[in-house]
Amino acid sequence: MKLFFHCRAVGLLRLCALALVALILRPELAQAQPQDGQVFQDWTARCETDPADASATRCYIIQGVVAGEQRQPVMLMAVAYPPGQETPLATAILPLGTDLRPGIAVAIDDGEPKRYPFSVCMADGCQAHMPLDAALLAAFKKGVAGSVTFRRGPNRPDTKVPFSLKGFTAAVNALK
């Protein structure tokens, strides 16, 4: 059984830390003004002070997905607006050991999946970045649920991980 949790859930703190590190190391990924910890149904806003500029705050929204009775972290989805850009960027962070060759496939509701390559693997997971162009952003805002399909390792079947879009519109709008 797959469940949706915010970063406060046990076991997701490492993935949340990874998302934060990714946003700090890549400052072009985030900016905005919701309140840190503000919850938008299944999405949570996170805001951090820019280490290079203490007067600047960068914000993003996140949703962690855990699975099984032990509630093991499976995926973290983070969304932020790059500074000065109108198009948000989504980042899926998946477990180490993932087969990087096929990338990921993202689908909204019953829509056709779209493929994205992995960008980087860090100590706690592998990241795939998805620019949310006008069509994909509209699908996220209208959708009820999305899914990310990836291969957990070489010669293994694909794994499909659902994520919720409840609260996404309000959360992403708070970032602007």
Strand partners, 64: 5, 76
pTM: 0.80
For the chain, count helices (H), then strands (E): 3, 12
Residue position matching structure tokens 């198009």: 87
- Residue by residue, DSSP assigns 54-88 as EEEEEEEEEEEEEETTTTEEEEEEEEEPPTT-SS-
- pLDDT confidence tier of residue 109, bands split at 50, 70 and 90: very high
Q: Is the pLDDT of residue 22 over 60?
A: no
Q: Is the pLDDT of residue 57 over 90?
A: no
Q: What is the pLDDT of residues 27-46, one digit of tens each?
A: 444 444 799 999 999 999 99
**Domains delineated in the chain:** 2-175 (2.60.40.1880)
